[in-house]
Amino acid sequence: MAFTLVTLFYLLLSLLSLQVAAESVDIVDGLAARQAPGGGGGGAPAGGQAGSSVPTVVSCAEYSRIANLTIIGKNSTYRAAFLRSGPFGTDQMSGMVDQAATLLPPLTLDKTLNEQCGNSTAIALAGAETNFTQGIVADFTIAEAPGIGVDGFSTLIIVSVLTLFMGTIWMTME
């Protein structure tokens, strides 16, 4: 009977740690959001024209690209999808959207540019949402989130094996 109690205890403990692991996925998402441009974090923009914003001339395509990346970078859902779906590592991927975010604000307000190109910021907002509903972020098909959707059956097997293995060691120690 003592055996069953110990086993049960381990089973509960294992389930608890799995639960904690599952929840940490959300915590990572939240962190990404806080580390986004608004959060005032990290890397200095590479271009380095500090202070006064002398608006460099950008093409409509460039404005559009910057707007698209910024919108993705600012929404934590899009951002997470973008980081895991692109061909590069997450550092490089977040570097792309963060750099774009530092460039966009003056462009959004530039009247001439918005008249010439259409308001790419507004277009990007709508476009990102449409794309997301179709499983697309930027130019990428959204990849499955790793660690989510472990099916219950394999979890049960793994936990049982671990419980038996660890439990046996403890029981034979008594």
Ligand X SMILES: *[C@@H]1O[C@H](CO)[C@@H](O)[C@H](O)[C@H]1NC(C)=O
* Site residues (vs ligand X, CB under 6 A): 61, 64-65, 68, 71-72, 75-77, 108, 111, 114, 119, 121-124, 127-129, 131-132, 136, 138-139
Q: Are 104 and 70 in contact (CB under 8 A)?
A: yes
Residue whose structure tokens are 């959707």: 149
By Cβ distance, which residue is nearest to ligand X? 127
Q: Closest Cα to residue 110, out of 54, 168, 48?
A: 54
Quickly count: other Cβ atoms within 10 Å of residue 165's Cβ. Answer: 10
Give the C-alpha separation, 24 to 123, whole Å: 34
Q: How far is the CB of 22 from ligand X (least distance, A)?
A: 22
Comparison of 81 and 163: residue with beta carbon closer to ligand X: 81
Q: How far is the CB of 43 from ligand X (least distance, A)?
A: 22
Q: How far is the CB of 24 from ligand X (least distance, A)?
A: 20
